[in-house]
Structure 1
Amino acid sequence: MKGKVSYMVEPMKLEFREYDIPKPEAGAVILKIVRTNVCGSELHIWRGHHPTKKTGVLGHEMIGVVESLGEGVTTDYAGQPVRVGDRIVTAYFQTCRKCSACVRGDFYLCERGIEFWNKPPEEAPHFHGSFATHYYIHPNQYFYKVPDNVPDVAAASANCALSQVYFGFDKAVLSYAETVVLQGAGGLGLNAAAVAKEKGARVIVIDGIASRLEMAKKFGADHIIDMNEYDTVEKRAEAVRFLTNGQGADVVMELTGVPAAFSEGIHLLRLGGRYVTIGNISPGQLVEFDPGLLTRKSVTIIPVMRYNPWYLHKSLQFLSDNVEKYPFSDMLDAEYAFEHIQEALDKSASREVTRASIILG
């Protein structure tokens, strides 16, 4: 049997390639992709902003069904029995458990985490990204069965957006009745709003796109701040202070990928607040920053890259518990066939589409 991959031969240019579907090694799984999303990190690479990734098979947010199981694979990483045909999602990185980061317990910083990520497709086992008909799950990649009550469209975002923000809030030790400001109401921001709300926080969302702000309300936002109305950092900071009795937010989470949002974040926090930055992942994108204000406010900055892999299981349980409460199925606003994946990337990059999804199943 053969499968196809969409190969980025250079930024903004895709080609389709066909390869034999490999036999999984011991501990590995072959996944048949059902749905895969265009994430913001893909767009950084697609535009040519990543420092090293200029070619490769993109895609990492996905859900699929088990096509074949390698020797010894009888359960997922939560101990649930797994069989051919089961719906599963997988962490998009591996956890080697042997490097210095893993030995410290920082599995999310595994030094070999992205060893197989976005590799050229001619290199076996070929299916290195989810913008393909199949995906190869390596022996050190955590994967989990999807609860029966969670639809594909909701589960497809679990292994990136939802797990990332869930982990970020736990890193910030978000507490009940604290106030959270979310910079950005894309996929990360909407998931973050729901998680923060379920943790008992008061949620303020900042964005400049009306449809996103309206969706943020459905995901638990108590207040929204429209950047078109509050069009300067000073105005947005004053709006946050007004909503927090003059104090500022306990936690601010940056989810935009815009460098200017990072420098703005400390203006939105109270004294001793915590700033979680997730969206800015492209080195070399610089911005002016006020370190003196950071020091005087005693702000703690918490960068979050990836997540401890068991957070994917937590995220699936979160979806199962809240799938009727928040409109997870409405987060994706455009669907494309696999053959039109370049259109999905281009329209996402130009912001004509907020969250695009590629349908294969």
Structure 2
Amino acid sequence: MGQESEEQYGRVAVMEEPEKLSYKEYKLPKVEKGAVLLKVRRSNICGSELHIWKGLHPTKKRGVLGHEMVGEVYALGEGVETDYAGSPVKIGDRIVSAYYITCLKCAACREGHFHLCEHAYDFWNMQPEAMPHFHGTFASHYYIHPNQYFYKVPDDVSDAAAASANCALSQVYFGLDKSGISFNQSIVIQGAGGLGLNAAAVAKERGATVIVIDGVESRLQQAKKFGADYTININDYETVEDRTNAILDLTNGIGADVALEVAGVPAAFAEGIHFIRPGGKYVTIGNITPGKLVEFDPGLLTRKSIQIIPVVRYNPWYLSKALLFLSQTKDIYPFDKLLDAAFTLEDIKTALDKSAAREVTRGTIIMGGDSG
């Protein structure tokens, strides 16, 4: 079943090559059994988009970008009556989806590691001329394939908050679960961008003492609103030793129980092990570009017996957890204010350039729906 409308075509923003953007129109596809076609309401600029835009992604060099989004149901394929949590869905409902496929059959999926599915990006990597065209969310519409998890957005969660759920919040939620961070423990979060701010809120709700490190003071001020108990500006400390001593002063001289790297800078990863207590854990999410190397001290890692936990994507049901978290904490943390700059579909190049230059913390592209 679908929606009958005069609107028969949609528009996509296409990266022809790094830092070069064009626009194309395609006829809206017929929705297959088990699939959903969304009308995009807003789509955020994630760090992954910036890596691709600057030519740093290992495989994606052109195509439709965008994956962190919220949309509304435009058409439902045969058999689609509920989301992946069993909630009924209909035309017009607000939806967020995992941005990757879960094939259920590859080696990773057979072991329950859905976030590592070998076919995760089969469609995201397609060029827009290939059906069903709308492979990314920097577009007027977005196609959700069969076996691509999606969830209905709670009525009390705004578009601005929901748009960050299907990447930033879900991923740090997944990573922090893997770390086991809990009450009366401490965590150092390296990076106060979108991932870091979401992580601060999740860790704070776990009862942890939250320390956030960044080099941009405005980001650190925002981190305090998202649960940071302490902030450290790296520009105030000349050396790794100085920054380590600052963290030791905040953790009874032993170091943090957990550190989370969401800075996306190789040097931050090498530095992080200095901040962690013996027997602690280190979750790394931000460094996603292979081939970017840094000097590393494996002896210190071994001596301190630190467990490194690399995390890419998230198991798709964490998206449902993220939406529930947003609903339950909406009056505690300013998720509606997490996005600090709004752009139109026509201004995506400007949005990407300003985000890459760190002129904005979290840019968002508004295609329709509420502005909050």
Establish whether TM, by shorter chain, passes 0.5: yes
- What is the Cα deviation at residue 152 of structure 1? 0.2
- What is the Cα deviation at residue 180 of structure 1? 0.5
Listed as ranges, the gaps of 5+ residues in structure 1 are none
Do 1:117 and 1:129's aligned partners in 2 also have CA atoms closer than 8 Å? yes
Match runs of 1:1-361 below 5 Å:
1-361=8-368
Letter in 1 for 2:351: A
Do 1:94 and 1:138's aligned partners in 2 also have CA atoms closer than 8 Å? yes
- Tell me how far apart the structure 1 counterparts of residues 155 and 243 of structure 2 sit (CA, whole Å): 42
Percent of residue pairs identical: 68
Under a length normalisation based on structure 2, what TM-score does the superposition of the two structures give?
Answer: 0.96
Letter in 1 for 2:285: I
Deviations 1:62-99, CA, capped at 9 Å, x for gaps: 00000000000000000000000000000001111111
Do 1:63 and 1:155's aligned partners in 2 also have CA atoms closer than 8 Å? yes
How many residues in Structure 1 have an aligned counterpart in Structure 2?
Answer: 361
- What is the Cα deviation at residue 231 of structure 1? 3.1
Greater shift in the superposed pair: 107-116 or 13-22: 107-116
Letter in 1 for 2:95: I
Do 1:254 and 1:265's aligned partners in 2 also have CA atoms closer than 8 Å? yes
- Tell me how far apart the structure 1 counterparts of residues 27 and 227 of structure 2 sit (CA, whole Å): 46
Do 1:118 and 1:129's aligned partners in 2 also have CA atoms closer than 8 Å? no
- Tell me how far apart the structure 2 counterparts of residues 107 and 163 of structure 1 sit (CA, whole Å): 14
Do 1:58 and 1:118's aligned partners in 2 also have CA atoms closer than 8 Å? no
Letter in 2 for 1:134: H
Query: Cα RMSD between the aligned structures?
Result: 0.6
Letter in 2 for 1:246: G
- Tell me how far apart the structure 1 counterparts of residues 313 and 343 of structure 2 sit (CA, whole Å): 27
- Tell me how far apart the structure 1 counterparts of residues 80 and 161 of structure 2 sit (CA, whole Å): 26
Do 1:180 and 1:204's aligned partners in 2 also have CA atoms closer than 8 Å? yes
Deviations 1:2-58, CA, capped at 9 Å, x for gaps: 000000000000000000010110000001000000000000000000111100100
Cα 1:119/1:79, change in 2 over 3 Å = same
Do 1:146 and 1:316's aligned partners in 2 also have CA atoms closer than 8 Å? yes
- Tell me how far apart the structure 2 counterparts of residues 168 and 101 of structure 1 sit (CA, whole Å): 18
- What is the Cα deviation at residue 352 of structure 1? 1.4
- Tell me how far apart the structure 2 counterparts of residues 24 and 260 of structure 1 sit (CA, whole Å): 46
Letter in 1 for 2:151: Y
Deviations 1:273-317, CA, capped at 9 Å, x for gaps: 100000000001111100010000001000000011000000000
Letter in 2 for 1:172: S
Name the counterpart of 2:5: none
Letter in 1 for 2:12: V
- Tell me how far apart the structure 2 counterparts of residues 54 and 347 of structure 1 sit (CA, whole Å): 20
Name the counterpart of 2:4: none
- What is the Cα deviation at residue 235 of structure 1? 1.0
Letter in 2 for 1:74: E
- Tell me how far apart the structure 2 counterparts of residues 232 and 131 of structure 1 sit (CA, whole Å): 40
